[in-house]
Amino acid sequence: MPLLEVVDLHKIYTMGDTEVRALDGVSLSVESGEFIAVMGSSGSGKSTLMNLLGCLDRPTSGHYVLRGERVSDLNRDELANARNRLIGFVFQGFHLLARTSALENVELPLLYAGVSGKERHRRSRKALELVGLGDRMDHHPNQMSGGQQQRVAIARAIVTEPGLLLADEPTGNLDTRNSHEIMGIFQKLSDTGMTIVLVTHESDVAAWARRIVWMRDGHVLSDEPHEPGSPVHPPPIDPGLSLGVP
Amino acid sequence: MNLFETIRVALRAILRNKTRSFLTTLGVVIGVAAVIAMVAIGEGAKAEVEKSFASMGSNLLVIMSGAHRAGGASGGSGSQLTLTWEDLEAIRTEVPSVRLAAAGLRGNAQIVSDEQNWSSQVTGTSPEFFDIRNWPTTDGALFTAVDVEAASKVVVLGQTVAARLFSVGSDPVGQMVRIDNVPFQVVGVLAKKGQSPMGQDYDDAAFVPESTFQRRIRGGLQKFIAGQVHVAATSQAGTTKAEAELRALLRDRHRLAPTAEDDFSIRNLAELASAREESTRTLTTLLASIAFVSLLVGGIGIMNIMLVSVTERTREIGLRMAVGARPRDILAQFLVEAFTLSLGGGAIGIVLGLWAAEWLSAKFQWPMQVSPDIVLLAVGFSAAVGVVFGLYPARKASKLDPIDALRYE
Ligand SMILES: Nc1ncnc2c1ncn2[C@@H]1O[C@H](COP(=O)(O)OP(=O)(O)O)[C@@H](O)[C@H]1O
Ligand SMILES: [Mg+2]
């Protein structure tokens, strides 16, 4: 059984009388332990897909099964629970709580999981040490670099040991050196068995992944295994797949 | 998330923006302070009225000759006297709800001691009078039934008269005074009684046996009482019953036709007291409702700021939801925040209100009385204000969609 499976996923935004088909029939299956990069030009629906996978949004139609559970059948509390325990999400813009220490930012998911104070501390420390911030626990976001902030966000995403890590352009706001560090952490997590799906439009970031999904206009254009480290090329445009695109 | 953690998160949010939190609660602070101060002053006024009526005797009835007239009862000079000494005897013996009754014959007289002279009101009465009015002596003793029988020339002085006639060190008891040139021996000095509800000084008075009064001060009539009859009912609750019984007795004794008006009037002081209390209570209610309205306005202030806060922290709410906060966690967080703000405001308001009441009563000599009830009520009300006015913003926050909240600009 795959870790997650989406079938014929559609997401349609209606604005006035114009319809935007952000996702137009996406099917995807992810096995446990995979390391996937989702690529594609801006507006191709990558973020929309990630938000649906992260249970942050609901599709217009289509199926999403996560660990054998149909996500569309879950109520708001159960969705919150899934986000808390099954999924870690890393955003392009970090989304850390301001004027709150790194440690407390990382503790946040555990707070909603009902973990006791002592245990929260222990696990948050461990997560921060894993991302190499063992000496920055008391720092506030405004006292840290972008790369450090993103590492705090990663620690927060993995602190509940969710098994699935989703990252939407995690290096989008970072320079090359910081990007490289972040990818090193993802690689380390992947080596421990964590399933990772990350969105990027930088080929040297995608090069770390073992599977690359290309998207275009709400469709999956190609979905191929990839040898980590080898260069990433856009797929040849297949007239049969790129419907109506010049 | 458990309640303890929720409170911790809410407190952090409040302390993160101290100035704003304080300004938010200011409405509740002022509201609660106003409630406390207004009610303390209102209750103080009520207690003052109660005290002055209680000093008159709470189960006191006063009967006067002549019918009721507009502007109060008659019985003064010129009106026809109708109450007789036999009536008094009948009141004492035949009315079950009457405990005691005494005549009170009044006149102004010049009282002269060796040192001073003073014009005061002299009352001729019997020893029961002091019991009816609940008025003991501090020095010496009251005159007795024997003194009344013998028409002894003895006098009991009120505090004011004693103070006017005798210098501080000297003991008035045993000394002689002249009342309208008749020598009297002072046998006692009464305890301080204070002011009547109308502001008259009760202690500016002297009391002599009624027989002596009639013989030596005002030549009285044999049959009629040239004054009032003071009656103590058996209980405060019994005054209404006593009034009815007295009316029936006197009408019967005076052989009044069923259609005729009373030729006497009865003043029920317990009723008068409760009417006065009623009016001060109305005042208290009025003051308190104005204050409660300001508390309400304070609540709306909290709601306003909480709504702003929810909007400002939309992305934070989105993030909390993204990492697993359920709608009810978000609801609880904002509700506890509003609750804490208004309860904190209430606490500051109580301190401020007590201080304001203290200050006002000191400055304007207003009596004040703080009842624990009103403090509890103010606390409860401010907590309720927090919950009621915090509920809407908190619900609004909890109903946000995670992705919309995260993307909010
Ligand atoms: N909330 C929204 N309302 C309307 N249109 C949206 C919304 N979110 C995304 N879209 C549209 O959906 C399409 C896909 O967007 P997105 O998934 O963000 O693309 P990507 O992340 O690949 O750049 C775009 O055309 C975008 O304008
Ligand atoms: Mg995007």
- What would the pLDDT profile of B189-220 be if each residue is shown by its tens digit? 999 888 776 678 889 999 999 999 998 888 76
Query: Is residue B368 very low, low, confident or very high in pLDDT (cuts 50, 70, 90)?
Result: confident
Query: Is residue A182 very low, low, confident or very high in pLDDT (cuts 50, 70, 90)?
Result: very high
Tell whether B16 is within 8 A of chain A (Cβ).
yes
Q: Which two tokens stand for residue B225?
A: 């009482």
Q: Is residue B146 part of a domain?
A: yes
Write out pLDDT tens, residues B119-158: 999 999 999 999 998 899 999 999 999 999 999 999 999 9
Q: Could you say which of B262, B291, B311 is where a domain stops?
A: B262
Is there a single domain that holds both residue B142 and residue B199?
yes
Q: Which ligand is nearest to the CA of A20?
A: 1
Q: Could you say which of B262, B284, B303 is where a domain stops?
A: B262
Tell whether B323 is within 8 A of chain A (Cβ).
yes
A91 C-beta closer than 6 A to ligand 1: no
Question: Would the pTM of this model clear 0.90, i.e. be above it?
Answer: no
Q: Is residue B29 part of a domain?
A: yes
CA B286, B289, B291, B294 dihedral sign is: negative
Is there a single domain that holds both residue B303 and residue B390?
yes
In this model, does residue A241 exceed pLDDT 60?
Answer: no
Cα B397–chain centre separation:
49
Residues B179, B184, B190: CA angle, nearest 5 degrees: 90
Cα A196 to Cα A167: distance, rounded to the nearest angstrom: 8
Is there a single domain that holds both residue B227 and residue B338?
no
Q: Which two tokens stand for residue A15?
A: 């604005």
Q: How large is the average pLDDT for residues B69-96?
A: 74
Is there a single domain that holds both residue B238 and residue B109?
yes
pLDDT of residue B70: 42
Choose the closest CB to B2 out of A95, A99, A114: A114
Q: Could you say which of B207, B232, B262 is where a domain stops?
A: B262
pLDDT of residue B72: 46
A22 C-beta closer than 6 A to ligand 1: yes
Is there a single domain that holds both residue B247 and residue B182?
yes
In this model, does residue B68 exceed pLDDT 70?
Answer: no
Cα B36 to Cα B256: distance, rounded to the nearest angstrom: 54
Helix B372-398 × helix B269-312 angle, to 10°: 30
In this model, does residue B37 exceed pLDDT 90?
Answer: no
For residue B302, give its domain range.
Answer: 3-52+275-407
Is there a single domain that holds both residue B283 and residue B336?
yes
How far is A109 from chain B, CA to nearest CA, in Å?
5
- Say which CATH architecture domain A4-225 belongs to: 3-Layer(aba) Sandwich (3.40)
pLDDT of residue B79: 65
Number of domains in chain B: 2
In this model, does residue B73 exceed pLDDT 60?
Answer: no
In this model, does residue B74 exceed pLDDT 60?
Answer: no
Distance B80 CA to ligand 1 centre (A): 104
Q: Is residue B44 part of a domain?
A: yes
Give the B window 105-164 contacts with A, CB below 8 Å.
Answer: none
Domain range summary for chain A, segments of one domain joined by +: 4-225
Do residues B251 and B189 touch, judged by C-beta distance below 8 A? no
In chain A, pLDDT over 70 holds for what percent of residues?
96
- Between chains, do B326 and A81 touch, taking CB under 8 Å as contact? yes
ipTM of the complex: 0.94
Write out pLDDT tens, residues B246-267: 999 999 999 999 888 888 989 8
Q: Is residue B364 part of a domain?
A: yes
Nearest alpha carbon, ligand 1 atom 3 = A13
pLDDT of residue A244: 46
Residues 6+ apart with CB under 8 A from B291: B31, B34, B35, B37, B38, B39
- Ranking A103-117, B72-86, B104-118 by mean pLDDT, the lowest is B72-86
Nearest alpha carbon, ligand 1 atom 24 = A43
Q: Cα-flanking dihedrals φ and ψ of residue B298, to 5°?
A: -60, -40
What is the average pLDDT score of chain B? Answer: 87
Q: Is residue B340 part of a domain?
A: yes
Q: Is residue B129 part of a domain?
A: yes
